[in-house]
Amino acid sequence: MAERLAVKKTYKLYVGGKFPRSESGRSYEVTDAKGRFLANAAWASRKDARDAVVAARKAVPGWSGATAYNRGQVLYRVAEVMEGRHTQFVDEVAAGEGVARAKAVSLVDEAIDRWVWYAGWADKIAQVVGSSNPVAGPYFDFSVPEPTGVVAVLAPQRSSLLGLVSVLAPVVVGGNTAVLLASADRPLPAITLSEVLATSDVPGGVVNVLTGALADTAPVLAAHMDVNAVDLAGAAGDAERASALELAAADNLKRVVRAPQAEPDWIAEPGLERITAYLETKTVWHPVGV
């Protein structure tokens, strides 16, 4: 029996709940840690980045307007679908990061658990960071968290799944929408996650995934006037790039989560800082009824 030919994959972008080709028509080879071919990935252009922002902005009213409980249930469903893709994630993490399979299994388990952990905060974060304020007068006074809007996220370049989940989940759990720039050299887990999102209950446009070179898309998103915040985790260890992106983000006073000097240990306890980084506080006064 003749040997079966492998089906070589050419992955697309994930924008607005669909999988379009890059506007540029370009793609690039993705290889494993030993340089062996894995797949082709789309090379996103500046136009693709702008299209992703449009999709993310369109999704803001529906996602931010959903109840916190509903968002939590939707995000938990994502974890369920990730569990069903467990073996595929393990294969991609092991190949891309060059770790032993047992280590890859541990990283995928931690990534799914991390997603569940963040999903659980959807209907609890308001109780932690919100408040009922004492006032001198016949009024109720409440401070409640609200999402900031569209967030551009530079995914970690080394931790292709656990780091990715650790920066993406806190953005969307608070009601924001995201434009994610995947790891340039290790994009396959991000692409598989986009397929998970497309087959779960997450509305199109809530998460948009771009692959390719950060140099092409990150400056566009950092300077984009319809992006409200930017996470520079993917610029860890690149002080020159991080500084340039911070300067571009200052044009419309974006919230900026600054790039660390080196990529952190993503296994460490995450805390709530990445959720609260993308929340604003609204204070409401209401007269006390008779």
pLDDT by residue, tens only, the chain of 290 residues: 678 887 888 999 999 999 999 999 999 999 999 999 999 999 999 999 999 999 999 999 999 999 999 999 999 999 999 999 999 999 999 999 999 999 999 999 999 999 999 999 999 999 999 888 888 888 888 899 999 999 999 999 999 999 999 999 999 999 999 999 999 999 999 999 999 999 999 999 999 999 999 999 999 999 999 999 999 999 999 999 999 999 999 999 999 999 999 999 999 999 999 999 999 998 988 888 75
Nearest CA to 195 out of 12, 6, 67, 54 is that of 12
Residue 75 near residue 119, CB atoms below 8 Å = yes
What's phi and psi for 147, nearest 5 deg? Answer: -65, 150
Q: Assess if CATH 3.40.605.10 describes domain 11-287.
A: yes
- Measure Cα distances from 236 to 67, 94, 132, 163, 224 in Å: 34, 22, 38, 12, 21
At 4 the pLDDT is 84
- Identify the sign of the CA torsion 10, 15, 20, 23: negative
Q: Are 157 and 234 in contact (CB under 8 A)?
A: yes
The pLDDT, as a whole number, for residue 72 is 97
pLDDT of residue 2: 74
The secondary structure of the chain in percent helix, strand, coil, rounded to multiples of 5, reads 45, 20, 35
Q: Whole-structure pTM over 0.95, yes or no?
A: no
Phi, psi of 192 (to 5 degrees): -65, -40
125 burial level (CB within 10 Å; 0-12, 13-18, 19+):
buried
What is the C-alpha to C-alpha distance for residues 40 and 44, in angstroms, rounded to an integer? 13
